[in-house]
Amino acid sequence: MPSTRSGVPADRYINRELSWLDFNARVLDLAEDESLPLLERAKFLAIFASNLDEFYMVRIAGLKRRQSTGLTVRSPDGLTIREQLARVTERTRDLVHRHGDVFTKDITPRLEEAGIRIVHWEQLAEPESTRLREYFRDQIFPVLTPLAVDPAHPFPYISGLSLNLAVSVRDPDTGAPRFARLKVPNNVPRFIPVGADTAHDAASEATFLPLEDLIAAHLQQLFPGLDVLDHHLFRVTRNADLEVEEDRDEDLLQALERELARRRFGPAVRLEVAESMDPRILQVLINELEVDKEDVVHVPGLLDLGALWALYALDRPELKDDPFVPATHPRLSEGETPKSVFATLREGDVLVHHPYHSFATSVQRFIEQAAADPNVLAIKQTLYRTSGDSPIVNALIDAAEAGKQVVVLVEIKARFDEEANISWARSLERAGCHVVYGLVGLKTHCKTALVVRREGSVIRRYCHIGTGNYNPKTARLYEDLGILTADPRVGADLTDLFNTLTGYSRQTSYRRLMVAPHGVRAGLLEKFRREARNAAEGRPAGIRIKINSLVDERIIDALYEASGAGVPVELFVRGICSLRPGVPGLSENIRVRSIVGRFLEHSRVINVRNGGEDEWWIGSADLMHRNLDRRVEVLLQVCDDQAQRLMQGVFDAAMADDVRCWELGPDATWTRLEGRDYQAGLMAQATEHAVAAG
């Protein structure tokens, strides 16, 4: 490993874009895992496809935008933008072909064995094709709009992530070739049930025809009087990363709405085409879309396997994981009877671990009880993402209509949820809530709620601080932690934080919180350096971190320094990891492990031994530049003994030698280790505790 003049290895960082692709490769590993139920494997194919779409819309779009400035910019691992894009292209092509092969050569035959078939038009029997011709005539044909490309008709706009047919036709009188584009409508089911009335619910159907196949079989109806020569499927990915110029004199809501309107016209960053694409047609697309040849991805089989969610929705429970019902936290109920969250919290903190503990009977109930309680005077909450029919938002609206003071910070810049959050913000305002949009130049990403309640002559504050969004739907799919507490110090901290978010306060120091952008990186660096000093002095030392992404170079270098001082460092990283573990003289005391499974590991937890007086912190911040420098993030020190023991158990189980996981090596490669299912163990444990409590 080459060193700089200071002796620090120059290649001590792993490229973040390539590390992200490694994460998506781990998702693909699950699609290949024959021990998983078949539709779960198909689900992971869909997740892989959706992940890759967002990667190109945001990360690759950002690299291309910087490249267009002409500046020579290198990543922390020393690669130029051109070198990064070249490596991403090579790795992506390998993964896309592997992804397509898994679907066509493995999943599709197994689906057929299970009675779920995806067929092509030429495979249909006459009764089926006759019925589908009628369906096309009545339901599809009226929606389609073929767009010619010639001197009188400029090349049409191709919307991002839409499926399209490039159609070659010929004038029989002149023999002149023509080109047309036909968009596959996205408001019609992608997989059309075959063998039954298509107007019926497709959930019970087992044979499907892709919509593009049905359209392709009827192209002659769209181009009467012309000879249809050929057709090819393609798909464009566009830059969808918003750049809102935040001016203190301009309404942020209006600025964001203007940028949302522009998003659909972002430059193309990827062109996906069928492997059979005619080279001449491909060149037309490359020229008209203004993409480089390196941006073209040839996809084996079907394009856009994100559509496989439709198959996952089939009512075939034997092909899916066994259902899991989250348990109510034992302290929040007495048998089947819910307890007052406020009475419970006066007895001590409650650490909830979703999805093993129910979100609906803990965090959601906390907000709903606060909204209905006549003694509650005020509710203050941050909202980053929530669900379409949000019981949290509905409870806040009820509280405002009941006369309570309700303050909601809605982060309208939450990527890809901007329009939904604007809608929620307006609904809350109409109900009388005080709605704010955060601080100029920062996204408010923290997950916090504060309830102010009158109890006799005393005003008491109840709080929730978590690692996940206030979204009851994702709370059943994402692993997250949250603390419900009546600790006066936490209540005072959240009061100060909300005053900063809604007013002009510039508070940067807190009692039990670290708050970015001013306090998280500095606080963590100080703690990691303290661990190094403790190790050097022979005192108990150790660092454990559970995180989604580890990218920040100053944090990574501090972990390297701690390792060099003899501090054992255990990292549980779901996604991107730019740190190289196990490098002699640099990181031989660091282990990095990733677990990808049924639930998305999403919680952020940090533990330092602190000379034998362990500190535990949970919060919303990943260890990335954007989280530490450009967001309002909160880390909470968890002092409750029982909560600390639960988190200790989570780490011990995840880092055990017999757990199925991936481990990162010094050469930046991930190795899969077989073993027991860590998440299944937590599900069983939650069920056992619920039975014992009930």
The catalytically annotated residue of 445, 518, 602, 625 is 445
Pairing verdict, β 147-149 and 177-183: antiparallel
In the 3-class helix/strand/coil scheme, how is 138-165 assigned residue by residue? HHHHHHCCCEEEECCECCCCCCCCCEEE
Strands (E), 127-226: 147-149, 163-170, 177-183, 191-193, 207-210
Cα 305 from Cα 44, distance rounded (Å): 10
Residue 652 CB-half CA count within 13 A: 6
**From the centroid of its chain, how far is CA 283?**
34
Of residues 646, 585, 363, the one with CA closest to residue 484: 363
Of residues 389, 394, 373, the one with CA closest to residue 381: 394
Q: Do 555 and 524 form a contact (C-beta atoms < 8 A)? A: yes
Copy the structure tokens of residue 607: 């533990």
Question: What Cα–Cα distance (Å) separates residue 67 from each residue in 71, 72, 216, 626?
Answer: 7, 8, 38, 20
Q: Does an H or E element contain 691, and which?
A: helix 678-693
445 is catalytic: yes
Question: What Cα–Cα distance (Å) separates residue 290 from each residue in 29, 279, 284, 294?
Answer: 34, 16, 10, 12
In DSSP terms, which residues pair with 515 in a beta bridge? 634
Of residues 635, 654, 638, 646, the one with CA closest to residue 574: 654
Question: If you count them, how many residues does the chain have?
Answer: 694
Sequence-distant contacts of 137-141: CB under 8 A, at least 24 apart: 139/188, 139/198, 140/185, 140/188, 140/211, 140/214, 140/215, 140/218, 141/218, 141/221, 141/222
Cα 584 from Cα 598, distance rounded (Å): 35
Copy the structure tokens of residue 347: 């007895």
Residue 86 CB-half CA count within 13 A: 5
Q: Do 298 and 324 form a contact (C-beta atoms < 8 A)? A: no
The count of other CB atoms within 10 Å of the CB of residue 324 is 17
Alpha helices (runs of H) in 334-461, residue ranges in sequence order: 341-347, 363-372, 391-401, 418-430
Give the 3-state secondary structure of residue 68. helix
Residue 460, by phi and psi: left (phi above 0), alpha (psi -120 to 50) or beta?
A: beta
The count of other CB atoms within 10 Å of the CB of residue 653 is 16
Of residues 574, 609, 594, the one with CA closest to residue 670: 594
Copy the structure tokens of residue 337: 């009877």
DSSP-assigned states of every residue in 571-620: EEESS-B-B--S-TTTTTTEEEEE--SSSEE--EEEEE-GGGS-EEEEES
Pairing verdict, β 604-608 and 405-410: unpaired
Cα 690 from Cα 694, distance rounded (Å): 6
**Residue given tokens 């429970």 in the structure block:** 317
| Catalytic annotation, residues | 445
